[in-house]
Amino acid sequence: MASGHSRSTSRQDDDPVTAKPSWHGSTQSTRKVNTILSAMKSNHFEISREDTSVMLACLTDYWLPITSRSTMPPALGPSLDYKFIEQQSSVLNSAFEFDGQHYNLDKNASLPEGKKLPRTIEYKKTLGQGHFGYVAQVSDKNGRTYALKVIPRKTQHADAREQMRMVKQEIEVLRKVDHVHCIKFVGSYTDAKSIGIIVNPAADCNLAKFLSHFDHKNEDQYMVLASFFGSLASALEYLHYDLRIRHKDIKPQNILVKGENVMLADFGISLDWSENTHSTTKQEVSRSPVYCSPEAARDEPRNSRSDIWSLGCVFLEMTAVIHAQPFKYVQNILESHGSRNFRDCPDGIEEVIASLRKIDPEDRHLPLDWVEQMLKMKKTDRWTSAVLRDEIHKSRGQSDLSFCGTCCEEHKPRSPTSSPVVAPTMTGDEIGADTSDDLNKAEKSLEKAELHSATKNGWQTVTLIRREDSPSNWIPANLVDSCKLEVWPNKEQSHLALEGQHFTSSEYVKLTFTVGGGQVLKCDFWVAPVTAPLNSLIWNTSAP
């Protein structure tokens, strides 16, 4: 029987500053930084292990080039700063290539005037701009067009560290994305003044503009818009189940239209880098207050169903246009109820749905059925993205419009009995038998553990029950909520039999917790219902 896999280390090793990595222990994201440090040592520049640890903890290759001491870690001395800045020229690139890699550009790689872009990138026009920088349409030497996001670099170390953390996260996620209804990563670069991220394609417009300029006299446009429902559901299911990430910022402005194709963009990590906040909730709410979920606004734990809420808001606006109403139709009704924010206007949402149901033809009301399941105030009542896509797929032939994109035509529903994509280490086995003997075993194995949570304190003391006979790990939902842990959906279910009661779960969390001696373990835990008689973690100690 499979279970969540654990990985043992020490808590100190979790902190890269105190982990004291080997001089030659290069990782992919610090390969060039290590090369610079090795070159400095070869040139008889003395660097302590402590300074090496600080450098590798604070800097990644995405930082290069560094041109100012203020950007370097403040714990280092000026001589080390200057020597590092001087030595980095040996690892910089002289030109950017459109090959999916990240380039660290030297001063000769970019044009000295105009937009000061890399010489291999031809600027066409600005597509949008804001506090973060700007997005431009650009082309390569063969005339292929792309979208380039340019972000001015922060110069103070604390600001730069947060910015580069987000840059690294965004680029590494974009590299994994491979779906017809998601933008594709082309390449990225860092130069002395800015960070550039290039994606394909350069869209014709975003969904907000598409809906605002919708031609209600053109029946072909109705067909295109209808196909967007299935396409967006397919893209979101891909993010949730295949990549195991939340989008976090679904809104019409982050949905791009190119010809008859629709694509998700900015997967919730492309923050407004002019604002340095460490609160994920504040970031989500401040970016898109109109579309953010009720739980995000209340600073409660979010999961993939928070994306479902946001997409449900977008679907309602799309449905209004399908019913020959203007794009602002939904917003106008919500504002008549006192707010533009969907989460604040449940009565407004009901009025919109009721009014659209009165408009013929009735076979175009199908999206309203989906929206009602997506805009449940309680997140656990909402559909998952897999259920949403299945329901849209089932709608084929029920309307004069096809709500499935080309990807939906080949769609095969995820079977609850098949191996889950999200958490392949989890099984649907029951945890022990309903006997007092099992409970006695559990009581004898009680001990204290520390669970790493998303709260300010970071670690929370909990009771740990070691169960060698348990085929899977469990955590009660109330503990998940109090620690504000990220919850993920799973297509396969697991069952818990304990104290005469049976519980079923199709959600899990990824935990980091410590046991005796400071040993740190990382593994997946099924989420038991809040009513389960558990105040502790149940851990399968036989997991590797």
Site of tokens 């779960």: 505
328: left (phi over 0), alpha (psi -120 to 50) or beta: alpha
Mean pLDDT for the chain?
Answer: 79
**Vertex 313 angle, CA 311 and 316, to 5°:** 110
Mean pLDDT of 251-276: 71
Range with the largest mean pLDDT of 168-177, 213-222, 285-294: 213-222
User: pLDDT digits over 134-177, tens only?
Assistant: 999 999 999 999 999 999 999 999 999 989 988 888 888 888 89
pLDDT of residue 280: 38
What is the pLDDT confidence band of residue 202, given thresholds at 50, 70 and 90? confident
The two structure tokens encoding residue 411: 């769609």
Longest dimension (CA), the chain: 81
Per the annotation, binding residues are 154
Query: Pairing state of beta strands 474-476 and 519-528?
Result: parallel
pLDDT of residue 226: 95
Name the fold adopted by 430-539. Answer: Cathepsin D, subunit A; domain 1 (2.40.70)
Determine the number of helices (DSSP H) and then strands (DSSP E) in the chain.
Answer: 17, 18
pLDDT of residue 270: 38
**Sheet strand arrangement including 205-206:** 205-206, 255-258, 261-264
Q: CB within 8 A of 4, min separation 6: which ones?
A: 423, 425, 426, 472, 473, 508, 523, 524, 525, 540, 543
Site of tokens 């304990």: 498
Does the pLDDT value for residue 277 go beyond 50?
no
Does the pLDDT value for residue 188 go beyond 60?
yes
User: pLDDT digits over 113-128, tens only?
Assistant: 888 899 999 999 998 8
Q: Are 392 and 403 in contact (CB under 8 A)?
A: yes
Coil, strand, or helix at residue 257?
Answer: strand
More confident position, 296 or 452:
296
DSSP state of 62: G
pLDDT of residue 502: 65
Q: CB within 8 A of 379, min separation 6: which ones?
A: 293, 294, 295, 302, 303, 305, 306, 309
pLDDT of residue 408: 57
On whether the pTM is more than 0.85, the answer is no
Does the pLDDT value for residue 392 go beyond 50?
yes
pLDDT of residue 534: 52
The two structure tokens encoding residue 342: 């969907």
Mean pLDDT of 333-358: 95
What is the pLDDT confidence band of residue 482, given thresholds at 50, 70 and 90? confident
What is the pLDDT confidence band of residue 438, given thresholds at 50, 70 and 90? very low
What is the pLDDT confidence band of residue 543, given thresholds at 50, 70 and 90? very low
Percent of the chain with pLDDT over 90: 46
Per the annotation, binding residues for ATP are 154
Top CATH class of 205-409 equals: mainly alpha
CATH 3.30.200.20 correct for 102-200:
yes
Mean pLDDT of 178-199: 94
Q: CB within 8 A of 208, min separation 6: which ones?
A: 251, 252, 253, 327
User: pLDDT digits over 405-433, tens only?
Assistant: 665 555 555 543 332 223 223 332 222 22
**Picking from 279-293, 314-328, 349-363, 437-451, which range would have the lowest pLDDT averaged per residue?**
437-451
From the number of C-beta atoms within 10 Å of its C-beta (0-12, 13-18, 19+), residue 286 rates as middle
User: pLDDT digits over 506-525, tens only?
Assistant: 888 888 777 766 667 777 88
Residue ranges covered by each domain of the chain: 12-91, 102-200, 205-409, 430-539
Does the pLDDT value for residue 82 go beyond 70?
yes
User: pLDDT digits over 8-23, tens only?
Assistant: 333 333 322 222 222 2
**Picking from 31-40, 277-286, 343-352, which range would have the lowest pLDDT averaged per residue?**
277-286
Residue 544, preceding peptide bond in cis (omega within 30° of 0): no
pLDDT of residue 320: 97
What is the pLDDT confidence band of residue 291, given thresholds at 50, 70 and 90? very high
* 466 vs 464: CA distance, rounded Å: 6
More confident position, 533 or 453:
453
pLDDT of residue 418: 30
